[in-house]
Amino acid sequence: MRLPGLDVPRESRLLVFIGLVDAIGTGLYIAGFAVFFTRSAGLSATEVGVGLTVGNACGLVALTPIGMLADRIGPRAASILLHLWRAAGFAAFAFVGDFVGFLVVSCVVGIPTRAIDPVSQMYVDRHIGEDLRVRVMSVMRVVYNIGFSVGGLLTTVILVVGTRPAFLVIVLGNAATFLLAGILLARVPLLADDPPDRRTARGWPRSLRQGRYLVVTGLNAVLVLNTTVLTLGIPLWIATRTDAPPAVVGPLMVLNTVLVVLLQVRLSRGTDTREGGVRALRRAALAFAGCVLVLALSGLVNSVGAVIAAVVATVLLTFGELWHFAGRLSVSYALAPRERQGEYLSVFWLGSAAALMVGPVLITVGVVDRGAFGWLGLAAVFVATGLAIGPAVAAAARQLAAEQPEAEVVRGAA
């Protein structure tokens, strides 16, 4: 049975299927990695946390250089390389038996795991073109959510079995999905692959020297905090500051997933231009502000009121999440020069990755621990971001248009 609204061009169906395969493996790993490393690999929870943090840091450092590599070798070669790299890395986790080995493999895995998002975004653009790229990415996000859920269910079965061979499926199964995805990517047609003249950047990445572009990435990073609000802020707030039963958290996460599956493509319509993307980001900022205002009020009412407030907040957050996804795609595409698309998209994702790293501290210490005033402060930040995003994007576009890239590049043969 086909979900309504998920029709994609025939040439994109294989790419969407690859996304499903990828997501099943990722869902399998996300749901089971903590148990695998502590019960099967014999690591402590602290060692797992430290290793994954170091691996993520390695991914951040390498993100922009790999984006520049994608500009150099083309999105197909870069995407296949990153998928095969991840396959080898996750397979190596099966042989980890101490902290040092885990740390090394975490760094190896962290680099392609971070780099794959902007390279995949570049791949979709070169696959389907400007008019349909946001729609195809939106369909793929729906499929990712379905795949994550399937992977999570498979992990439940593995945890019930509870044997060492079963635990190995968590990492080896993930490796197998990346291997299959990498092989299938070679068959997805592209409108364009390598840069036409094989130019290569000289010196420091140009994107990191454009202050107005970095302002846009910073504003987008503020909006990325919605992810931490959903996964950490709402559960902690419900459990510690409201009369709502903690058991309501699970259904709220399901509600979020269902709304993403049903509405992502629909709410992405009209966002295929820069102006449409800015409108979507404004709506997202307002929806996030509304969400956290409702959360602030939820601590002042009885249990029934708190549950209703939590549901309303989750719906507002999810609508904001849907607009934010489509809007940031459109804006990041619009502000990325064609010959440096991998570099610029990687820097844009760098801001998002940094927000996800600092988000847990900001939301717990800066918001939840401050009570209702913490949520009110975050609401003000979201509103200010929504007001600033339009002028910031326009200023970045003007700066990019004024640049003379010919003066900053040199032929690869030189």
CA-CA distance, 190 to 199, in Å (whole number)? 20
Q: In which element (H, E) is residue 200 found?
A: strand 199-201
Q: How many CB atoms lie within 10 A of CB 232?
A: 16
Pick the CATH number of 11-194 from 3.20.20.70, 1.20.1250.20, 3.30.70.20, 3.40.710.10: 1.20.1250.20
Give 3-state DSSP helix, strand, coil % of the chain, rounded to 5: 80, 0, 15
- Taking alpha carbons only, the member of 301, 238, 22 closest to residue 140 is 22
pLDDT of residue 413: 32
CB proximity list for 148: less than 8 A, separation 6 or greater: 23, 24, 26, 27, 30
CA-CA distance, 141 to 152, in Å (whole number)? 16
pLDDT of residue 406: 46
**pTM of the prediction?**
0.91
CA-CA distance, 205 to 405, in Å (whole number)? 12
CA-CA distance, 383 to 385, in Å (whole number)? 5
Q: Are the CB atoms for 77 and 188 separated by under 8 Å?
A: no
User: What is the phi/psi pair of residue 189, to 5°?
Assistant: -70, 145
Which letter does DSSP use for residue 204 in this model? S
Distances (CA, A) of 61 to 101, 108, 140, 165: 20, 12, 27, 34
pLDDT of residue 193: 63
CB proximity list for 369: less than 8 A, separation 6 or greater: none
Q: Where are the domains of the chain?
A: 11-194, 206-407
CATH code given to domain 206-407: 1.20.1250.20
CA-CA distance, 221 to 211, in Å (whole number)? 15
Q: Are the CB atoms for 303 and 241 separated by under 8 Å?
A: no
CA-CA distance, 266 to 138, in Å (whole number)? 9
Does the fold of domain 206-407 match that of domain 11-194?
Answer: yes
pLDDT in tens, the chain (414 residues): 454 456 788 899 999 999 999 999 999 999 888 889 988 888 998 999 899 989 999 999 999 999 999 999 999 999 999 999 999 999 999 999 899 999 999 999 999 999 999 999 999 999 999 989 999 999 999 999 999 999 999 999 998 898 899 999 999 999 999 999 999 999 999 986 655 555 555 556 888 888 999 999 999 999 999 999 999 999 999 999 999 999 999 999 999 999 999 999 999 999 999 999 999 999 999 999 999 999 999 999 999 999 999 999 999 999 999 999 999 999 999 999 988 999 999 999 999 999 998 999 999 999 999 999 999 999 999 999 999 999 999 999 999 888 755 444 333 333
What residue spans of 162-208 are helical by DSSP H? 164-185
> DSSP 3-state assignment of 411?
strand
Distances (CA, A) of 144 to 150, 171, 204, 347, 372: 10, 18, 34, 23, 34
- Taking alpha carbons only, the member of 56, 89, 63 closest to residue 78 is 63
